[in-house]
Amino acid sequence: MTIRTDALPTQEMTINMGPQHPSTHGVLRVILTTDGEVVTRAVPDMGYLHRGLEKIGERVTYAQYMPFTDRLDYLAAMNCNCAWAWTVEKLAKIEVPARAEYLRVIVCELNRISSHLIAFGSYTADMGAFTPFLYAIRERERVNDLFEMLCGNRLTYNYARVGGVSGDAPPGFLEKTKEFLDYFEPKLDEYNNLISYNKIFVHRLANVAVISAEEAVAYGLTGPNLRGSGVPFDLRKDEPYSVYPKFDFKVCVGTGERGTLGDCFDRYMVRINEMRESVKIVRQAVAQIPDGPVRAKVPRLFKPPVGEAYFRSECPRGETGIYLISDGTVNPLRLKIRTGSFVTMNIFEKVTRGLMIADVVAVIGSFDIILPEIDR
């Protein structure tokens, strides 16, 4: 799409997109300056969901902060739970029982599946096909059922604990997990047939908002958005934590199969393929899980030593890095949460220049942002 600048003089129009808009994935507000349908500038305006999670962290104890991490990214609460637990454990050098680590990996990967399902589903809904969204929700409900069985809640799990997890898997959980994986794996091919390779869908996504590998690194993109640009960087592989080194899986990267490397379609396809890899990881974890305790002894009045730790883990929306400073009291001195969505929004203004309004929706969907993570 080229814009003729020598055409008749026209006036630019400022449009307010959001905070109530069906496809801004929450309360994101974008101030669009458009020339007809072509966006000349799109400035994101965030903060509508700012709850001061970092400030809250300074007045609650390390254990009490766990439920708040659920609210960090409600579609991948398990990953945030575990990220917090791993950070505190890194700071206080706590050894976690092997079974707990396996359980954490299982729930993290299941949550990654359910989060990517929402990403896939809401993306297709943004593109105008509502049906795949409901199929995705259907599958996600099954994951929620599993989590409900495990920890008693369907959305805000609060499952991980400093030093382990809140409870062992109930009998039948691992079997049901396997059942789900068997059910879920063929569905991915169905999605690909239904929508991924649909001509219209491909045309909407391919060659839109291309981000080169250098740009992606410079702007600090992480997770599927970085891998969509062809950078094979996955914290689970490259900075292994927990028991991830024990599993065999592939790092999915964009290939530019239907357009340019680093376009919306690549980012979308990375997520679809990652679900397959997550299935693989969960299968291995379920097969290998050892017996034993699920919680290390952590004093009730837990005081980590004075120190600072930065821990990053691979969440569905990119790297969630927690920078934690302890002054030796029961409360953290400062914690900063660096989330994938927040950093991704930095590049938004750059990539949306010159796209059409419908493409802005495609870009938001392909970044798979979630507002609580941006606003915290």
Partner 1 sequence: METLAISLVNAVPLLAGVPLWTVTLLLMVAVAAVILVFALTFEGVGSLVLRKVAGDIQARIGPNRVGPNGMLQFLADGVKLVLKEDIIPANADRLLFKLAPYFVFVGSFAAFVVVPFGVGLIAADLNIGIYYVMAVTSLVVIGVLLAGWASNNKWALLGGMRAAAQIVSYEIPVGMALIPAVLIAGSLSLQDIVRSQGGLLGIFGWNLFHNPFTFFSFFLYFTAAQAETNQTPFDLPEAESELVSGYNVEYSGIRFGLFFLAEFGDMFIVAALLTACFLGGWNVPFFNAGTLPWIWGNLLSLGVFLTKTFTMVLVMMWVRWTLPRLRVDQLMRMSWKYLVPLTFVNLLGVSLWLLVFRGKGIPGMIASLFG
Partner 2 sequence: MGLKAYLNDIVEAVVTTAKGMRITARYGVDPKEEVTLQYPEERWEIPKGYRGFLHNDIKTCTACNMCVKVCPIDCISLESVRGADKKMVLCSYDINIGRCMYCGLCVEVCPVNSLLHTSGYEMASVARGELILHFIAAEDAPGIKARVARQVAEAAVKAAAQAAAKAAEVPSSGTAEAAKVAEAAKAEAAKAAPKPEAQAAEAPAAAKAAEVPSSGTAEAAKAPVVEPTVAKEGEKKE
Partner 3 sequence: MEAQVLFDTLKGKFGDAVVELQGEGCSPAFVVVAPASVQEIARFLRDDPALSFDSLMCLSGVDYKEKFAVAYHLHSMKHRHAIGLKVMLPRENPSLPTVDDVWPAANFHEREAFDLFGIVFEGSKDLRRILLPEDWEGHPLRKDYKYPDFYHGIKV
Kindly state whether residue 201 participates in binding partner 1, applying the rule CB under 8 A: yes
Q: How far is the CB of 174 from partner 1 (least distance, A)?
A: 27
**If binding is defined by CB under 8 A, does position 131 make contact with partner 2?**
yes
Q: Which of 228, 215, 211 is nearest to 352 (CA)?
A: 211
C-alpha distances in Å from residue 243, one per residue of 88, 101, 164, 167, 184: 17, 6, 13, 19, 24
Strand ranges (E), the chain: 13-17, 29-35, 38-45, 160-161, 164-165, 307-315, 318-326, 332-338
Query: How far is residue 107's CA from residue 101's CA, in Å, rounded to a whole number?
Result: 10
Kindly report the backbone phi and psi dihedral angles of residue 301, in degrees, each rounded to the nearest multiple of 5, phi listed first.
Answer: -95, 75
63 forms part of the interface with partner 3 (CB under 8 A) = no
19 binds partner 2 (CB under 8 A): no
Q: State the Cα–Cα distance between residues 279 and 334, nearest whole angstrom.
A: 36
Give me the residue label for tokens 């995705």.
136
What DSSP string runs through 128-183? T--HHHHHHHHHHHHHHHHHHHHHS-SS----EETTEESSPPPTTHHHHHHHHHHH
- 331 scored as a contact of partner 2 (CB under 8 A): no
Q: Please select the residue that binds partner 1; options are 49, 63, 194, 210, rule is CB under 8 A.
A: 194
- Minimum distance from CB of 131 to partner 2 (Å)? 6
Least Å distance, CB 353 to partner 2, is: 27
The residue type of 369 is I
> Which residue bears the tokens 């080229």?
2
Partner whose footprint covers residue 197, from partner 2, partner 1, partner 3, none (CB < 5 to 8 Å by kind) = partner 2
Query: Taking CB under 8 A as the rule, does residue 329 contact partner 2?
Result: no
Q: Is the peptide bond before 299 cis (omega within 30 degrees of 0)?
A: no
Separation in Å, CA 288 to CA 150, 208, 284, 291: 19, 42, 6, 10
Q: Among partner 1, partner 2, partner 3, none, what does residue 60 contact (CB within 5–8 Å per kind)? A: partner 2
Sole window of 186-194, 259-267, 277-285, 335-343 interacting with partner 2 (rule: CB under 8 A): 186-194
Which residue, among 236, 230, 237, has the nearest Cα to 215 in the 3D structure? 230
Question: Whole-number minimum distance, CB 356 to partner 2, in Å?
Answer: 20
Pick one of 309, 315, 355, 370: the residue that binds partner 3 (CB under 8 A).
309
Q: Does 123 bind partner 2 (CB under 8 A)?
A: no
89 interacts with partner 3 by CB under 8 A: no
Number of residues written out for the chain: 376
Q: How near is the Cβ of 175 to partner 2 at its closest, in Å?
A: 14
Nearest CB to partner 3, comparing residues 99 and 376: 376
Which structure tokens are listed for 156? 């805000």
Residues 276 and 188: beta-carbon distance below 8 Å: yes
User: Site residues for partner 2, window 136-175 (CB under 8 A)?
Assistant: 138, 141, 145, 148-149, 151-153, 156, 158, 166-167, 170
Q: Which residues bind partner 3 (CB under 8 A)?
A: 46-47, 50, 52, 54-55, 90, 217-220, 231, 233, 238-239, 305-310, 312, 319, 321, 323, 325, 333-334, 336, 338, 342-343, 345-347, 375-376
Q: Which residues bind partner 1 (CB under 8 A)?
A: 1, 13, 15, 21-23, 36-37, 124-131, 134-135, 138, 194-195, 198, 200-201, 203-204, 356-359, 361
Q: Which residues bind partner 2 (CB under 8 A)?
A: 60, 63-68, 70, 131, 138, 141, 145, 148-149, 151-153, 156, 158, 166-167, 170, 190, 193-195, 197-200, 300
